[in-house]
Chains A and B, each alone.
Chain A
């Protein structure tokens, strides 16, 4: 189970209640289930409670994990690991680049 979505903390009422924006000015009052939540933090919200934080560094770690899997699998299937990983990382950073451009 456990449906959860990313959101941005836009105000902190107390150490218990915060308000988040789920994108496009979609606002919800939620309970705080993590330590040290700060204004502007990105978080995951499940059933009206913040269950964890999100950060850019961790997204990068996530991308790296996938790269590592692709590398190891390429070694098994006999492809060129350097080539497949490069193709993958290039395409991921290209997507990120397009997004940054859009946001100026």
Chain B
């Protein structure tokens, strides 16, 4: 038995089922609209990889016009504050070996650290030792081989936190490798986004696709506040096209019946209701909750993680005396990335979009990350354009 292959065939390459689900979505949509009185049905995801699946497999081209799939603050590249990047650049320029995931490598600061140096990529171009790694394990092994003072740029959400925690727990980190935590928690930001939406003039968020891999750790129950407190159906979904289409169909059904009380769990092959207790314990043991800054949004209380005291010798912020400045608005003037990230504005509402801010010369973080909404709109156009393309290639 080859389980990964089965998953590929059933959930990824299953265009027959994808077609069937998309037809069901089209049939159900007018009924939901009739029953709820909504003009448009806005469904928000909170995960960069859900956005990737949606874009990569052309899921928006399979939606009826009234169903809009939007990206919420789930892309760490879009929400990592400029000050963190600047701190990492400074460490790199001061001679530390800086380890980063590929995701944060190109991410720009608002103002340059020094002329010409506004990202880890440009710091590397200026001679700094910046190394892209696939995992924390790889960084540890590499740091052991050279012994030079090094810092790991610890990005991530609940999913990535255990990968650090289990290694700290077993005391395998070499003394020359420090850790800079930029870890964030999704739930506080999701609540923040939904509350903002309630106040905005745009049509509200009608449903939520819960982050599947964050949920492997926190469990699907982590999202029960959506239906319980906000009356919004939530579905924890996997990352294959069939998963996302099923999630959309489930949300539509929940909107129609109005019966959803708890989070629906589509991603049953990977996620449980209670999550990964082993990982939760490890994270609790190593990290404490802190307030943290989200790019363009500001401080969100209890939405970050940092190393606990017993591990302070590894904490780059403490050891290198990096001051955490209060949040300084970290978007370029005019940039609406904060509203776009929260889903309350469309990229085309921003005065900079495709004028001062383009994919080849991005200003705002939403244009930098390939999954950022602005970058997606710049490259693929609005949902309308995608539907238009679909007509062109239909046999």
Interface of chain B residues 12 through 27 with chain A (CB within 8 A): 14, 16-17, 20, 24, 27
A residues in contact with B253, CB < 8 Å: 69, 72-73, 76
Contact with A along B246-283 (1 / 0, CB 8 A): 10011011001100000001111111000011110010
Instruction: Name the CB-closest residue of B to A44.
Output: B270
B101 to chain A: closest residue by CB = A47
Known: A69-B249, A96-B6, A103-B1. A31 touches B167 (CB 8 A): yes
Contact across chains for A4 and B266 when beta carbons are under 8 A apart: no
Determine if A48 and B268 form an interchain contact, defined as CB atoms under 8 angstroms apart: no
B residues contacting the other copy or chain, number (CB 8 A): 69
**How many Å lie between the Cα of A6 and that of B6 in the bound state?**
11
Task: Using known A-B contacts A16-B172, A31-B166, A92-B10, determine if residue A73 contacts B138 with beta carbons closer than 8 Å.
Answer: no
Q: Which residues of B contact A91 (CB under 8 A)?
A: 16-17
Among candidates A7, A23, A51, A88, residue contacting B279 with C-beta atoms closer than 8 Å? A51
Given A34-B278, A91-B16, are A96 and B76 also a contact pair (CB < 8 Å)? no
Residues of B within 8 A of A2 (CB): 47-49, 156-157, 159-160, 211-214
> A87 vs B24: C-alpha distance in the bound complex, in angstroms?
14
Give residues of chain B (209-229) contacting chain A, Cβ–Cβ below 8 Å: 211-214, 216-217
Q: How far is the CA of A72 from the CA of B253 in the complex (A)?
A: 8
Residues of A within 8 A of B395 (CB): none
Question: Within the assembled complex, what's the spacing in Å between the Cα atoms of A5 and B371?
Answer: 19
CA distance A66 to B14 in the complex (A): 13
Q: Is the CB of A48 within 8 A of B7?
A: no
List B contacts of A103 (CB < 8 A): 1-2
The residues of B that contact A100 with a CB separation of less than 8 Å are 1
Given contacts A52-B216, A52-B270, A77-B28, contact A59 B279 (CB under 8 A): no
In the bound complex, CA of A88 to CA of B246 (Å)? 13
* Chain A, interface residues (CB within 8 Å), range: 35 or more
By a CB distance below 8 angstroms, the chain A residues around B3 are 6, 8, 42, 54-56, 59
| Contact status B5-A23, CB under 8 Å | yes
Picked from B5, B166, B268, B278, the residue with its CB within 8 Å of the CB of A58 is B268
**Binding site secondary structure of chain A:** mixed
Which residues of A are found within 8 Å of B170, using beta-carbon distances? 15-16
The verdict on B198 contacting chain A, using a C-beta distance below 8 Å, is: no
**Distance in Å from the Cβ of B211 to the closest Cβ of chain A?**
7
* Cα-based distance from A10 to B172 in the complex (angstroms): 22
Instruction: Give B157-189 interface residues, CB cut-off 8 Å to A.
Output: 157, 159-160, 162-163, 166-167, 170, 172
Main secondary structure of the interface of B (DSSP, over half): helix
Chain B contacts of A66 at CB under 8 A?
242, 246, 266
A69 to B264, CA, bound (A): 11
Asked if B135 is at the interface (CB within 8 A of a chain A CB), the reply is: yes
Q: Which B residues touch A22, using CB under 8 A?
A: 4
Decide if A35 is an interface residue (CB 8 Å cutoff): yes
A11 within 8 A of B: no
Specify which chain A residues have a CB less than 8 angstroms from the CB of B246 in the assembled complex.
Answer: 65-66, 69
Contacts of A82 in B (CB 8 A): none
Whether A1 and B159, one on each chain, are in contact in the complex, defined by CB atoms closer than 8 angstroms, is: yes
Which chain A residue lies CB-closest to B16?
A: A91
Residues in A whose Cβ lies below 8 Å from that of B20: 88
Distance in Å: Cβ of A23 to nearest Cβ of chain B: 5
Flag if A62 contacts B276 (CB, 8 Å): no
CB distance from B378 to the nearest CB of A (A): 21
Cβ–Cβ contact A56 & B214, under 8 A: no
Min CB distance, A49 to chain B, in Å? Answer: 3
The answer to whether the Cβ of A63 comes within 8 Å of any Cβ in the partner chain is yes
Complex CA gap A42/B270 in Å reads 10
A65 to B371, CA, bound (A): 29
Q: How far is the CB of B219 from chain A (nearest CB, A)?
A: 11
B28 touches A48 (CB 8 A): no
Give the 7 A-B residue pairs with the shortest CB-CB distance, closest first. Answer: A48-B135, A49-B163, A2-B213, A6-B4, A2-B159, A35-B278, A52-B216
List 30 A–B pairs whose Cβ atoms lie within 8 Å, in order of A's numbering. Answer: A1-B74, A1-B75, A2-B47, A2-B49, A3-B49, A4-B159, A6-B3, A7-B4, A8-B4, A31-B135, A31-B166, A33-B276, A47-B101, A47-B163, A51-B216, A51-B217, A52-B216, A52-B271, A54-B269, A62-B269, A65-B246, A65-B268, A69-B250, A73-B28, A77-B24, A91-B16, A91-B17, A95-B14, A99-B6, A103-B2
Instruction: Mark B residues whose CB is within 8 Å of A.
Output: 1-7, 9-11, 14, 16-17, 20, 24, 27-28, 31, 47-49, 52, 74-76, 101, 134-138, 156-157, 159-160, 162-163, 166-167, 170, 172, 211-214, 216-217, 238-239, 242, 246, 249-250, 252-253, 256-257, 265-271, 276-279, 282
